[in-house]
Amino acid sequence: MRQVVRYTAMLLRAYVRDRSAVFFSLLLPLMFMLIFGALNLGAFGHVTMGIVDEARNADSRRFVDQLAGIGELTVREGALDDEKARLSRSERDMVVAIPADFRLAPPQPGASVPTLLVYANDGRAQQVAVGGAILQQLIAETSFAVTRTSPVVQLTQEQVSAVRLRYVDFLVPGILGMNVMQLAIFSVAFALVADKQRGVLRRIMATPFRPIRFLTSQVLLRLVLSVIQILILLGVALLVFKVQVVGSVLDLLVLTTLGSIAFLTVGFTLAGWAETVNQVPPVANLITLPQFFLSGVFFPTDVVPPLLKPISEHAPLTYLNDAVREVSTQGATLWDVRGDVLGLAVWSIVGFLLAVRFFKFQTS
Amino acid sequence: MTTPIISVTDLRKRYGEIEAVRGISFTVAEGEVFGLLGPNGAGKTTTVEILEGLRNADSGTASVAGIDVARDPTGVKRRIGVQLQASAFPEHYTTKEVVELFGIFYDRTVDALALLRQVDLADRASQRQEKLSGGQRQRLSIAVALVNEPRVIFLDEPTTGLDPQARRNLWALVQSIRDRGITVLLTTHYLDEAEVLCDRVAIIDEGRIVALAPPRTLIADLLGRGFTKPVLQQQANLEDVFLDLTGHELRED
């Protein structure tokens, strides 16, 4: 045990001195999070609405200002042709044309009321529905105010979950899961294959140091690194993006550690199979890249085509991301996500058997 | 005669079609410097790696410091020091840290500086191991081989790729190790090296020992068989000229 602790400490010392390792395990994930967080990719329920105000009177101004004051909307104004062009480039989810005769006054009997014309982006049906509902509600409120009546039915809306899910709240758990996977697979595979290729492992095996202790230290190092990495990423997410972590941070660490173990077995299998460092990236990417898109890192798994659903559902990163996301955004406990934990455990066992089968200390 | 510290009997090892070691037997007495000589691919490294517990022999027996290598490779590893061919130390450590790291592998606390002083590397203690010159690296690997106070040390082609100054320096180091009573088994394909350092040599070719005796005896035998060199015997050779002109001091950085 003392030997394992001393060796792990030495490994950690070498790791922090290795600039490229620090870059890949810490700076790159931070960049990923900052870029995707800032891009606000996905932007659930957020609607970009173009307004073409042909009335340009006090009433139309008031109406537009009210729309602009609604949090879910980003309002842009422009000429009709321009806005329609932007709509076709998906820069707008919908465009609302306010007619020249727009005014907010009680309707005169027999006269028609002004009509808002909405151009909708077919590709963004969800956003169009949200924007349409907001418009309907604003029209209703305005009508009641103008006609000085009260609505006959009142609607109170209650949030389904206690916390409103912003994209970044969704994104951060995915980024955590992705980095657990990257660190476990790439850092083990690269470091051990390089050491194997250079004859470092042979030199160590010429000492009485027991292989099991060597491997235990290598695993321990990665688990320690993974915890440090997760804490730093979470810290930045909390400070920069004000991400709300509803569940327990300790549970998150337990889950990411389980995830690390599952992916470490993959890393060791790869390190055992590969004879040179050049063989590592193609296979490692083949394993990790599809999971970026199938396992709900950047967007929910609902968008995965049916054909790929079975892979998506059982991929190790999906189990990890689901569990981390449930804990982080919904406040789930470890018991609540036991299905995902079981999934990770099964992958760990499969990976462990593969690693035992493939891992060798020297090139033949 | 005392019991030999290394004893090898009818060792054989085959890699697929190639029979690398075909029945090698020899013994090494404690305190001796024993050389395994031979061209590349003769089976020297395979033999040494079997003795170091890194490879299993197909048949035959080998024991080091009284321990059967096949039965207790870890026990052998605990008692020997090794310097491997085509191996490297882990990166991102200083010279001193490499020695300490191997102290961990032998599960003992080591005075790294004292070991570095023995191989004349104390001034490089805080330098990164990757930055050492070839000769310095070989000396570091000898310091590491001494970490566990071994009774035998194995040096596999310790001077290959070194310049004449660094070679002479390493020879002096090997002699100082022998003077401390440590048995040395070295492989080389430099015959002058064997002649200077070794008490006895075994010449290996194609997996077999073709001669085994002290270097002087082998030379005397050859001359006794009427061998004469076609050139006039010189009192100096080109290496002597080179060293006379460039000096014996180490050239490092």
ipTM surpasses cut 0.85? yes
Report how far apart, in Å, the C-alpha atoms of A176 and of each of A27, A95, A292 are.
13, 37, 12
Considering the domain architecture, whether residues A22 and A93 belong to the same structural domain is answered as: no
Spatial CA neighbour of B153 closest among B186, B121, B180, B175: B186
Across chain B, how many H-helices and E-strands are there?
9, 10
* Residue A364 forms part of a structural domain: no
* Residue A276 forms part of a structural domain: yes
What pLDDT score does B240 carry? 80
* Residue A77 forms part of a structural domain: yes
C-alpha B81/C-alpha B76 separation (Å) is: 10
* Residue A253 forms part of a structural domain: yes
Q: Is A10 helix (H, G, I), strand (E, B) or coil?
A: helix
What pLDDT score does B237 carry? 79
pLDDT band at B1 (very low <50, low <70, confident <90, very high): low
What pLDDT score does A161 carry? 47
What residues form DSSP beta bridges with B212? Answer: B202
What residues form DSSP beta bridges with B187? Answer: B36, B156
**Cβ separation of B77 and A204 shorter than 8 Å?**
no
Domain that holds residue A242: 2-39+166-358
Is the pLDDT assigned to residue A284 strictly greater than 90? Answer: yes
Report how far apart, in Å, the C-alpha atoms of A231 and of each of A129, A176, A226, A252, A253 are.
39, 10, 9, 10, 8
A190 touches chain B (CB under 8 A): no
Reduced to 3 DSSP states, what percent helix, strand and coil does chain A have, rounded to the nearest 5?
A: 65, 5, 25
Average pLDDT, chain B: 90
C-alpha A202/C-alpha A152 separation (Å) is: 83
**Cβ separation of A200 and B88 shorter than 8 Å?**
yes
Tokens of A22: 């620090």
Give A-chain residues touching B101 at CB under 8 angstroms: 7, 10
pLDDT band at B236 (very low <50, low <70, confident <90, very high): confident
pLDDT band at B40 (very low <50, low <70, confident <90, very high): confident
List all residues of chain A from 12 to 71 with a beta carbon under 8 Å from chain B.
13-15, 17-18
What is the side-by-side strand order in the sheet with B183-188? B80-83, B152-156, B183-188, B33-37, B200-205, B208-213
pLDDT (tens digit, 9 = 90+) per residue, A309-358?
999 999 999 999 999 999 998 889 999 999 999 999 999 999 999 888 88
Considering the domain architecture, whether residues A177 and A65 belong to the same structural domain is answered as: no
β-pairing verdict for B208-213 and B67-68: unpaired
Q: Could you tell me which chain A residue has the CA closest to the CA of B50?
A: A206
Spatial CA neighbour of A272 closest among A332, A195, A164: A195
pLDDT (tens digit, 9 = 90+) per residue, A208-264?
999 889 999 999 999 999 999 999 999 999 998 888 888 999 999 999 999 999 999
pLDDT (tens digit, 9 = 90+) per residue, B79-136?
999 999 888 999 999 999 999 999 999 999 999 999 999 999 999 999 999 999 988 9
* Residue A246 forms part of a structural domain: yes
* Residue A363 forms part of a structural domain: no
Backbone phi, psi, residue A194, to 5°: -60, -45
C-alpha A125/C-alpha A134 separation (Å) is: 14
C-alpha A281/C-alpha A265 separation (Å) is: 16
> What length is written for chain B?
253
* Residue A130 forms part of a structural domain: yes
Considering the domain architecture, whether residues A146 and A274 belong to the same structural domain is answered as: no
pLDDT band at B141 (very low <50, low <70, confident <90, very high): very high
Mutual orientation of helices A249-273 and A280-294 as an angle, nearest 10°? 150
Considering the domain architecture, whether residues A84 and A231 belong to the same structural domain is answered as: no
Give B-chain residues touching A6 at CB under 8 angstroms: 104
Nearest to B74 among A203, A208, A362 (CB): A208
pLDDT band at A34 (very low <50, low <70, confident <90, very high): confident
Report how far apart, in Å, the C-alpha atoms of A328 and of each of A61, A143, A341, B215 are.
42, 42, 15, 76
At A214, which helix (H) or strand (E)?
helix A211-241
At B75, which helix (H) or strand (E)?
helix B73-79
Q: Residue A257 contacts by C-beta under 8 Å, 6 or more apart in sequence?
A: A223, A226, A227
Of A160, A184, A207, the position where a domain reaches its end is A160
Is the pLDDT assigned to residue A363 strictly greater than 60? Answer: no
C-alpha A15/C-alpha A220 separation (Å) is: 13
Domain total in chain A: 2
Spatial CA neighbour of B82 closest among B64, B66, B108: B64
Considering the domain architecture, whether residues A142 and A35 belong to the same structural domain is answered as: no
**Cβ separation of A199 and B74 shorter than 8 Å?**
no
Considering the domain architecture, whether residues A216 and A125 belong to the same structural domain is answered as: no
Residue that the structure tokens 């972590």 belong to: A245
User: Which of B101, B105, B141, B149 best probes binding to A when mutated, by most A CB atoms within 10 angstroms?
Assistant: B105
Is the pLDDT assigned to residue B231 strictly greater than 80? Answer: no
Of A160, A179, A214, the position where a domain reaches its end is A160
**Cβ separation of A206 and B77 shorter than 8 Å?**
yes
C-alpha A196/C-alpha A140 separation (Å) is: 72
Give A-chain residues touching B92 at CB under 8 angstroms: 13-15, 17-18
Nearest to B106 among A14, A18, A207 (CB): A207
Tell me B37's DSSP state: E
What residues form DSSP beta bridges with B200? Answer: B34
Considering the domain architecture, whether residues A192 and A315 belong to the same structural domain is answered as: yes
Spatial CA neighbour of B87 closest among B79, B98, B76: B98
Tokens of A316: 């190790």
Of A160, A182, A203, the position where a domain reaches its end is A160
Nearest to A204 among B52, B53, B105 (CB): B105
For the question of whether the overall pTM of this predicted structure is more than 0.80, the answer is no
CB pairs under 8 A between A and B: 68
Considering the domain architecture, whether residues A154 and A15 belong to the same structural domain is answered as: no
* Residue A147 forms part of a structural domain: yes
Considering the domain architecture, whether residues A226 and A241 belong to the same structural domain is answered as: yes
Give A-chain residues touching B148 at CB under 8 angstroms: 207
Tokens of A169: 């709240």
Alpha-carbon torsion (A162, A165, A168, A171), positive or negative: positive
Listed ranges A36-45, B226-235, B236-245; the one with the highest mean pLDDT: B236-245
Tokens of B46: 């395979």
Nearest to B78 among A195, A198, A208 (CB): A208
Considering the domain architecture, whether residues A64 and A132 belong to the same structural domain is answered as: yes
Average pLDDT, chain A: 87
A210 touches chain B (CB under 8 A): yes
Considering the domain architecture, whether residues A55 and A31 belong to the same structural domain is answered as: no
Mean pLDDT lowest for which of A34-38, A149-153, A272-276, B20-24? A149-153
Considering the domain architecture, whether residues A156 and A193 belong to the same structural domain is answered as: no
**CATH number (domain holding residue A99):** 3.40.1710.10
